[in-house]
Every structure is written in C-alpha cells, then in structure tokens.
Chain A
Amino acid sequence: MSNEVLLQAQDVRQYFTVKKERGQKATLYAVDGVTLSIYKGETFGLVGESGCGKSTLGKTFLRLYPLTGGKIVFDGKDISRLRGKELKEFRCKSQMIFQDPSSCLNPRRKIEVILSEPFIIHGLYNTKEERRRRILELCDMVGLSSAYLERYPHEMSGGQKQRVGIARALALNPQLIICDEPVSALDVSIQAQVINLLEDLQKQLNLTYLFISHNLSVVKHCCQRIGVMYLGKIVELASAERLYQNAMHPYTQALISAIPVIDDGSERPIPQQIVLSGDLPSPTSPPVGCAFHTRCPHAMERCGKERPTLQEVEPGHFVSCFLYEQIP
C-alpha cells in the first residue's frame, strides 16, 4: 500500500427510479453521498447489511450506471462523465469479480471463448497463437489447468468457475478490481484458497481491491482499511485494526459484536452481543436525520432531525455520528 490515491469518490450518489404498486414511481437512494479514497495497492473492505448499496457502489465506480451526482476520480482523471471511446479505455483499468460463479460465465460458451472475449473486444493479440499464449498465461496465474479451456461452465465446480472469473478480470491488466463477495457462494474449504489466490495476485500484479462482503471476519482477515455502509452511506471508515479495537459507530459496534467468538480458553472477556431491533428501512424512503436512528440504541432527539456528516475523530478514523461530534 502506498500513499498514492487510485480512486477518489466525492459525494457519489446513485439513485434509481423504481416502480411501486399501481405504477407509481419512486426514487431509490441506493448510494447517497459516499466520499472515500482507495489507495494504490491496498485492499479496501466494504461491509454492511444486504441491500445497503455495496454492489451498487462498486458498479458505480465501474461506471455501469449514469452517475446521479458527485465525482469519481480514477488515477488522477475524472471519470464521472466518460463516454464512448474514453469509457472503453477506462474499462481496461478496472474490472470486477462476482459473487455467484454459476451466473458469471455465459453457459453457452467454452471457457477458452469466454477468456478470448476481452481481447476480441479491445482488439488485442490478433493472431490466434498470441491470444492462446496469453490465455494459458492467465490460467497459470489463477491455477487453472489448461484442460478446462475446452469445457463448458456447467462442467466445472464453483471454485474453478470463480478462477475463470478471476482470469477474465485479469485479462486486460487492470489496476483496480472490485471483488463483490467473491467467496461467499463457495465452500468454506475453497474460500481460503480463493482468498489466498487473490492475495498472491495482488502482490504479483500490484493490484488494488475493493473487497465487498457482509462477513466482517473475512474482511478483517484480508483488508487494510474498511468502510462500513448503512443505507447508501458510509457511517464509519478506519483501518482494519482500529475498527476492530475501537469501533465507534453504534452500527459498527453491533456488527462486530455479532461476529461469533470462539472460546479459546483465554481470559479475554466475551463481548456483549448488541442486537439491533427492527429491519433495514426501505431505501426508497430513508429516515429523516441520521439514517440509523430508527434502530440505534443511543439515539438522541437530535438524530431524528439532523443528518450527521463523516468526521475524522482520530487520524484516519472517520465516523458519522453525533455521539462523537467535536464542539468547535
């Protein structure tokens, strides 16, 4: 990890128009004002409940949607409004690995054809042999036997398909890879293999990861910095260590207390589990004030009226909560 910023998001907003019953339209605030920086070579973890907008944020960074508001700067260049040829060039620099290995590969194509796609789209390696050589190189990198190239996706296991997905993401030599829950659909025994593979590749190729997960223990293991997301907003952002030692936001505290603790006989006190009441509010009508106040054990009167902003409470540790508001 260096001090150079690879991706910088400023107040990024991504809204969708959705249809409600009786044909009424509503705005869905999937990502609502996210500001963060991802440094070159780091693994940035993004955690939060299902539906809080993690995947949407990742896909927004990849410019899959027309940005509703805010700005994304990638490697010093504003990419928020790229179109056409420039957008296609940007596509080489950032890629994605998906959660569900069974839907990430076109079931009607052989693996070799799937892995040729990136080169055909971008007109790289024009002879068959060159392309083949590069594909074999990719297989080698992700630990996939070249025998699989002749297979169809349904003839492979989940872990093998995930490796193909990783190889495809690496094909264009990207700098940033969005890993959207890359292991949560896999067997526990294979999860570790894939995570190790991702870590090795990161070192070898100097990659930067945005690692999305709803599983804090996985994130703790492999991320340097972590952002906690709630209802389209980052509520806390800190280095992995600080976040686990000194979680500040009540939502983060609840998430961390929910990690199962293995009683290893040590004297460490077993933390009290904080159980959140209620469900995640609908992203089409987020609560006024602090988005979390409807479920917060420490909610004050103020929380239902004003919206807190992300503040740096110790170096590199940002929280969006009135409990830590410093009086100027």
Chain B
Amino acid sequence: MNTVKQLLKHKNFMFKLGLVICIGWIVIAIFAPLLTPYHPINDQNIVGRFQPPSAEHWFGTDSLGRDVFSRVLYGSRISMSAGLITVLISFGVGILFGGIAGYVGGVVDDVMMRFSEMVQSFPPLILAMVIAAALGPNISNSILAMAIIWWPNYARLTRSIVISVKENDYVTASRILGASHLRILYREILPNSIGPMAVMATLDLGNAILMFSGLSFLGLGVQPPVPEWGAMVSDGVLTFNYWWISTFPGLAIFSVAIGANFIGDGLRDYLDPRMRKRA
C-alpha cells in the first residue's frame, strides 16, 4: 500500500499524464455505452456516409455511415483488453518459466532457454498469422497467438534478473536460515525482481496493442463489423480521401502507446534508487 502511495506522490508529470491516459481509456472502455451518442455497429446510414467531422459526428462517419467517435470509444474495449490480456499472460508465463530456469540453473536452465529461443526465432508476425490461420481468425486466437510470441521476452528478462538477484548475500542468508526454495523465491527473489519486469510490461502494453491492431489490419484479428482500432485504421486506408476514418483510431492507438510508455518510464525512475527521493 505504501508503495502505491509513494508512487502516486511521484513528482513526475509525464508519469501522471500516462496514468491519466491509460486509466482514462479503461474507464471509457467500461462505460462506452453511456458515453457514445450512436451504436457502433447498428447505427448505419448509407446516405450519410463519409461525412467529415461535425457537431453531430465529432469524428465524422465511415464508409457505412457509422459514427467514428462511437466506434473509437467502443474500439477501446477490444484493443485495451487484447493488449492487457496479452501482456498479463506473457508476464505470468514468463515469470514462472524464467524464474524457474534462472533459479534452478544447470541443465534445466539450458533446456528451458533453448526452448524459448526456439519460439522466439520465428518471425513474430508470421507466427501470429500461422496460428490465427490455423485456429481461425478471432479475438481469442489472436490474443493466444500474441501471448505465444510475447512470453519469451519476459522469460529471458526474468531469468537474467533472477540470476543476478540470487547472487546476493541475503538470498544465501535465507538459505542458511533454512528457508525453503519456494519461500526464498517469493520472499527474497521475487520482490527484488518484479520492478524491472513491471517496467517492461507497461512499456510493452503499447506494443501489444499495436501488434494486435497490426493483426486486425491484416484481417487476422477481429472481423468486421466489430470495432477495433487496428481494423478501423485499415478500413480508412482504403478510402484515403476521408482522412478522419483512420486518423482518429490511429490517434487512439498512439495515445495508449505513449501513455503506457510514460508510465513505464516513471516506474523505472521510481524503482531506480538513485532517482528516488524518500520523504
């Protein structure tokens, strides 16, 4: 609890801005039905299509006459949750995998790391395409595909952190006191490794959303007419004269990516003892 309080007191403007942006998008995602003037799918109006931004349609309308503003707000539901779920799954799997490899070491480490290198050696987009194509293009399959590509990064980072943390004398001291391996892992090693991992995860959120949008852009993520930022950008690209169709979802992606990066940077500063001032 203390940590959270201190984090909020953090005098870093960018960090707060990032927090506002990301929490803002989560709130929007939750309350989208209350905030949107139109239904994102059903309110079509062929006559009123390709309208530029106006008081009635803040972000204009798309090729089917749907309100882009409403679709961008609704799109946050899928984009934010796809990004968050991908990062969370990778984070969990990566910590478990990398933590065990780094802590146990030896042959176990060799085998586990060779395996993760193997996964990582596939070109990510191609692997995602293969998985999405094999299992069928839908949201959960693309999230699964992304998690499969994503976790080795976390595993490798966790492993290297755990290897350096376990060299500390307080870990040896804990062993000499008779603590079990499990206790050492979660009392001594995890609390001292989680910081850089959390930084990586926040920095990654933007990337994950971008990648998911990329998959949708290629037609592998969500299927029309579901609103998703990447798919909306790709819609607009075909009708380039009507710039608003892809610009606004593009800006939405950009804002989350930037916001998450601000949070990650702030977190990193906070966790670096040299940058940290205590009250």
Contact flag A122-B178 (CB < 8 Å), given A106-B188, A106-B192, A107-B192 = yes
CB distance from A96 to the nearest CB of B (A): 5
Q: Does A81 contact B (CB under 8 A)?
A: no
Residues of chain B lying within 8 A (CB to CB) of residue A59:
172
Residues of chain A lying within 8 A (CB to CB) of residue B192:
106-108
Question: Interface residue tally of chain A, by bracket?
Answer: 20 to 34
Q: Does B39 contact A (CB under 8 A)?
A: no
B170 touches A64 (CB 8 A): no
B-contacting 9-mer, from A87-95, A261-269, A273-281, A319-327: A87-95
Residues of chain A lying within 8 A (CB to CB) of residue B187:
106, 117
B176 touches A103 (CB 8 A): no
Contact flag A100-B169 (CB < 8 Å), given A106-B192, A108-B192, A117-B174 = yes
Residues of chain A lying within 8 A (CB to CB) of residue B191:
106, 108-109
Residues of chain B lying within 8 A (CB to CB) of residue A155:
278
A168 touches B178 (CB 8 A): no
Residues of chain B lying within 8 A (CB to CB) of residue A99:
169
B177 touches A117 (CB 8 A): yes
B176 touches A91 (CB 8 A): yes
Complex: how many Å from CA A165 to CA B177?
12
Most buried by A among B174, B178, B273, B278: B178
Interface bits A162-200 vs B (CB < 8 Å: 1, else 0): 000100100110000000000000000000000000000
Q: Does B168 contact A (CB under 8 A)?
A: yes
Complex: how many Å from CA A103 to CA B183?
19
Complex: how many Å from CA A108 to CA B178?
20
Quick one: which of B188-231 are within 8 Å of A by CB? Answer: 188, 191-192
Contact partner of A91 among B172, B178, B188, B273, CB < 8 A?
B178
Residues of chain A lying within 8 A (CB to CB) of residue B177:
91, 95, 117-118, 121-122, 168, 171-172
Minimal Cβ-Cβ distance residue in A for B170: A106
CB distance from B59 to the nearest CB of A (A): 46
A103 touches B169 (CB 8 A): yes
B179 touches A96 (CB 8 A): no
Minimal Cβ-Cβ distance residue in A for B278: A155
Q: Does B175 contact A (CB under 8 A)?
A: yes
CB distance from B201 to the nearest CB of A (A): 19
Minimal Cβ-Cβ distance residue in B for A117: B177
Quick one: which of A48-89 are within 8 Å of B by CB? Answer: 59, 62, 64, 87-88
Q: Does B173 contact A (CB under 8 A)?
A: yes
Residues of chain B lying within 8 A (CB to CB) of residue A103:
168-170
Q: Does A30 contact B (CB under 8 A)?
A: no
Most buried by B among A96, A99, A106: A106
Most buried by B among A87, A94, A96: A96
Residues of chain A lying within 8 A (CB to CB) of residue B273:
107, 154
Minimal Cβ-Cβ distance residue in B for A106: B170
Q: Does A1 contact B (CB under 8 A)?
A: no
Most buried by A among B169, B187, B273, B278: B169
Minimal Cβ-Cβ distance residue in A for B178: A91
Complex: how many Å from CA A64 to CA B179?
12
Interface bits B252-275 vs A (CB < 8 Å: 1, else 0): 000000000000000000000100
Contact partner of A96 among B173, B183, B188, CB < 8 A?
B173
Most buried by A among B168, B172, B176, B278: B176
B178 touches A98 (CB 8 A): no
Residues of chain A lying within 8 A (CB to CB) of residue B173:
96, 98, 104, 165, 168
Residues of chain B lying within 8 A (CB to CB) of residue A107:
192, 273
Minimal Cβ-Cβ distance residue in A for B276: A154
Complex: how many Å from CA A232 to CA B176?
22
Residues of chain A lying within 8 A (CB to CB) of residue B174:
117
Minimal Cβ-Cβ distance residue in B for A88: B178
Most buried by B among A95, A99, A117, A168: A117
Q: Does A105 contact B (CB under 8 A)?
A: yes
A64 touches B178 (CB 8 A): no
Complex: how many Å from CA A107 to CA B179?
18
Interface bits B141-175 vs A (CB < 8 Å: 1, else 0): 00000000000000000000000000011101111
B188 touches A121 (CB 8 A): no
Minimal Cβ-Cβ distance residue in A for B180: A121
Residues of chain B lying within 8 A (CB to CB) of residue A100:
169
B178 touches A121 (CB 8 A): yes
Complex: how many Å from CA A261 to CA B40?
88
Using a CB–CB cutoff of 8 Å, the interface residues on chain B facing chain A are 168-170, 172-179, 183, 187-188, 191-192, 273, 278
Give the top 3 A-B pairs by smallest Cβ distance, nearest first.
A91-B178, A104-B169, A98-B169
* 16 further interface pairs, Cβ-Cβ under 8 Å (given A87-B178, A100-B169, A122-B177): A62-B176, A64-B175, A92-B178, A95-B176, A95-B177, A99-B169, A104-B170, A106-B187, A107-B273, A108-B191, A108-B192, A121-B179, A121-B183, A154-B273, A168-B177, A171-B177
